[in-house]
Amino acid sequence: MKMEIPDSNQKNVFQLKVILKELSQDGSELLTNWEALINNALSLANSLFHILFLSLAEKAELEELATQLWNKVVILKSKKCLSALSLTKARHVAFQVVTHLYESNNDEMTIKKHVIMALKTARAWIDCKEWENAEKVLYIFHQAIQKLQHISKEKKAFNLTTEAFKKEKYEIDTDIFQGLCLSAELKFAQSQLNEAKLMVAKAKEFMQGTFPNKAGFLSLLCHNFGVDSFKDKQFGEGVFWLKESYQLGKDADDVSTSTQASTLRLLANCYMEEKNTDWIENAFNAIHLANKIDPHSAGIYLKLQLNVLDEEPNLNLILASLQEMLHHKDSSIDLVLNALHLLKKHQISSVAFQLRLEILKKFEFHPDYGLLLVTMLDSFLTESDGEFAKTFSQECIIAHNTIGRLDGATLKRFHILFWSKAAEMFENENYSGSITWYNYSLSLYSSLSPSEPNLGKLHRNLATCYLLVGETAKASTAVELSEKCEPNNAHTQYISFKVALATNDWEKAIKSLNQLVNCSPKDDDTNNIICLAAHSALEQENCELAIPALECLINHSNDSKHILIAIRCLLRLLITEMEENERLSVNNAISKVRTAYNKILVIKANNELSSAELEDEALWFMKIAWNLAIKYRDDVYAVKELFNLCYQLLTLCPLNIGNYIQSNHCLLMSCAACLQIVKNEQDKSLVQDVLEEVLKNIEQYRQGEQRIEKYIWAQGVQTKSSQEEKLLHLYKFQALLKLNDARAETVIDSALLLPNSDPKLFHTFAAAALDPTVNNAKLGAKALKISIRLHLEASTPDYVKCSADLRNLIEFVMNRNEEEEALIYLEEAVGVIDKAKGLYPEIEIVWLMTRSWNYGLLQYNCCKYPEAEKWCCKSIKFLKYLSSAKENYEEQMITLYQDLLARATSGEE
């Protein structure tokens, strides 16, 4: 009964035929969809089943197509026109098709064909690092081998001749050997090391019994495993494989002694890296054997390396190894350079120092002779005492200046090494040693022309060292030489400044400082140097130089933080100077505080400091300004500026009760200073500006109240006293009065609405209004009336102060000849005195009485008897309130009043 093939498989077979035909055609590799076709064919080949039930014709057709593809791959591989992975996929497709076609076929030739194809396909997959596919192919390979072995046994049973059987078995064993080697390679690649070792052991068995000529191949395989293990730092595995490789290679005619020596050298390296028990002895044995069979220069180097790495290095053995390496026929400069690096690393360059002349002689005409010199110097510099390096440096310098000059690259490297050693000495505070190495560098210059590169810097470094060892004369000379090379260099001028400081040459120091400031470009480096100059002056407590140095830093630095630090230092110095010399102006300090404020503004805008750091800076300068304002309180112009700065600095701080209260105090103090300025200032324009500044400060005060209003409500905190509110009204009133602004009257009205309005405030309002420079009668009188009223409305009136306000009001009105109004106020005064019940000051009563009586007499003398009677009548009303003084006035006043009354009645003159 014929088995039917499923439609899906039949479809796959058809698609596979089409693709194989297309791939097998000439030039198919040029198709743009070659990769897609291969991948599709690979997928179809892997999914084939029931292929056994194809007709013979279909099988033959498929086999032919697969064979064509296989042969095409062989050709394409030689052309190298496609990737190895692409060709391997094509090879696998052909292999899969053939094995599927005859998977149940026991034909010997067919199976052998499968074996050959499997070995080549597995090899290709391993080369492509496709371990899973290689494993699948090798599985099919082992099945095919088993079939061949079974067929061979059956043939022997049917009287196969011994020779024929041996030949056939040899061929099968050869395939098995190749398969085992491939399996070992695969397992090693998959890190299945025990399986890899097992495969090698089996291959070794086949080799020893059947074909010992394969020992070389197996030795190479183990060598490669050893190399890969070494690269992967699996040194223990490397030891195993390399020992195996060496043992296999000993009996192999096709393994050369140089190859064996190479294996032993690598084995020695594995021992060195592994550092297991007896590693040094094993490594020595390996390298001794390597050098015995092939005395290669690399082996000599390894011997040197082992001697160096010994727990107790024997310098004689190391010296002997180095000499042996030098005398080797293949000795190269690269090998010597490596040896020098090795000795440097382990700080035993003294060995190389003993052979330095021999080494240099051997390679004196080599193109890398300069590199050898540099490497030797670098190696000698690692020695602790540095004597080897000094001796070698001196020898090189002498040779350079007498025998033959070093090339440019070597000179550059020598300078770098000399300077590095000098810098190391400098860091260790061995300044004399640093001078020695800088002088070595100086000795290599062909001329001391200012155009020589880095010569200016070299002289600067020498000057610094000379300065530190106290040789100021040499330092001055070095600085002068540096200035000739680089007169506009900031570093040069800084060193010049330091030398001038050390020699107390203030004129030179100031000159260097000015030149330092004028150096270009003004970069961070220059600013840092200016900062260092200021620091140097401060260290020596030389204010004469420190102040201009700090001024330079403040004026030219781009670093706001540096500027703030400099201003702090400068302010301290200025304050100290002002304390010592009272004639010094405070204006310079004010200017520096203002600069600090501007810089803090920049820092805040750029978020260069945290909020807390910013507040600390602002408060520090605010306290300085506040203290200066208190100290120089007699200089009202300075006080005004300083309190303004205090307020501005406080605005940079977070809003809280403390900062708010203090900022208000600053505004009030500034207002007070402004009004003091106005009293004596003759410049009308300036007076107006200052008065407007008072109004501006008061407005800022009110704005601050609005900003903190919510905070106050939330905290329940009292932030303002009634005294501050009175001062605000007073300052505003005075400013508006002097500006002749009509709004001054509204200030009086506003003050009247204040809680607990104080008569004293209105008394002060009146004094300000009646000041001769203002003379505002209306507002003066209004303020006095309110003051008097508030006195009388008090629960316990202060009749002393009230009497003064009343006298001022009456005096003011009488001076303006406003008689009727004056009489009204006198009458009111009588009422106040009567109400006072003896508390009204008698001297004030006497004044009222006398003032009104004298005015009456004045009218009397002018024959104005009715008017005189009115005033004298008012005067007599005061008489009864007198006590001790009453007798002095009563009789005379009554007599004169009667006469006056008679005259007024009769109309007589």
Q: What is the pLDDT of residues 128-160, one digit of tens each?
A: 999 999 999 999 999 888 888 888 777 766 665
Q: Is the pLDDT of residue 610 over 50?
A: yes
In 3D space, the residue among 785, 794, 783, 890 whose CA is nearest the CA of residue 835 turns out to be 794
In a domain, 888, yes or no: yes
In a domain, 895, yes or no: yes
CA angle 406, 411, 414 (to 5 degrees): 120
In a domain, 829, yes or no: yes
In 3D space, the residue among 822, 739, 808 whose CA is nearest the CA of residue 780 turns out to be 808
Alpha-carbon gap, residue 88 to 93, rounded angstroms: 9
Tell me the two tokens of residue 516: 């330092």
Helix spans in 310-407 (H): 315-327, 333-345, 350-354, 356-362, 369-380, 387-402
Last residue of one domain, picked from the residues 249, 270, 291? 270
Alpha-carbon gap, residue 580 to 572, rounded angstroms: 12
pLDDT per position as a tens digit, 809-828: 999 888 888 889 999 999 99
The answer to whether the beta carbons of residues 270 and 235 sit under 8 Å apart is yes
Matching residue, tokens 């107390």: 504
In a domain, 570, yes or no: no
Answer with the residue of higher pLDDT: 882 or 884. Answer: 882
Average pLDDT for 721-737? 90
Length of the chain equals 909
Q: At what angle do helices 636-650 and 611-631 cross, to 10 degrees?
A: 170
Q: Which of 121-139 are b and which e, b meaning 16 or more Cβ less than 10 Å from the residue's Cβ?
A: bbbbbbebebeebbbbbbe
DSSP string, 699-732: HHHHHHHHHHHHHHHHHT-----HHHHHHHHHHH
Q: Which of 43-47, 452-456, 655-659 shows the lowest per-residue confidence on average (mean pLDDT)?
A: 43-47
The answer to whether the beta carbons of residues 530 and 549 sit under 8 Å apart is yes
Helix spans in 837-885 (H): 842-861, 865-879
pLDDT per position as a tens digit, 569-595: 888 888 888 887 777 778 989 999 999
Structural domains counted in the chain: 2
Matching residue, tokens 């501005």: 648
Alpha-carbon gap, residue 552 to 779, rounded angstroms: 55
The answer to whether the beta carbons of residues 350 and 383 sit under 8 Å apart is yes
In this structure, the number of other CB atoms found within 10 A of the CB of residue 814 comes to 18
In a domain, 880, yes or no: yes
In 3D space, the residue among 469, 489, 467 whose CA is nearest the CA of residue 478 turns out to be 467
Tell me the two tokens of residue 833: 């005195």
Whether the link from the prior residue into 654 is cis, omega within 30° of 0, is: no
Q: What domain range includes position 252?
A: 212-270
In a domain, 79, yes or no: no
Alpha-carbon gap, residue 271 to 230, rounded angstroms: 10
pLDDT per position as a tens digit, 406-461: 898 999 999 999 999 999 999 999 999 999 999 999 999 877 777 787 899 999 99
Q: Which of 625-655 are b and which e, b meaning 16 or more Cβ less than 10 Å from the residue's Cβ?
A: bbebbebbeebbbbbbbbbbbbbbbbebbee
Alpha-carbon gap, residue 731 to 635, rounded angstroms: 19
Alpha-carbon gap, residue 714 to 129, rounded angstroms: 75
Last residue of one domain, picked from the residues 231, 251, 270? 270
pLDDT per position as a tens digit, 62-88: 888 888 889 888 888 888 778 888 889
Using a cut of 0.85, tell me whether the model's pTM lies above it.
no
Alpha-carbon gap, residue 800 to 812, rounded angstroms: 18
Calculate the alpha carbon distances from 899 to 159, 889, 902 in Å.
190, 16, 5
In a domain, 363, yes or no: no
Matching residue, tokens 């093939």: 5
In a domain, 235, yes or no: yes
DSSP state of 30: G
% residues pLDDT > 90 (the chain): 46
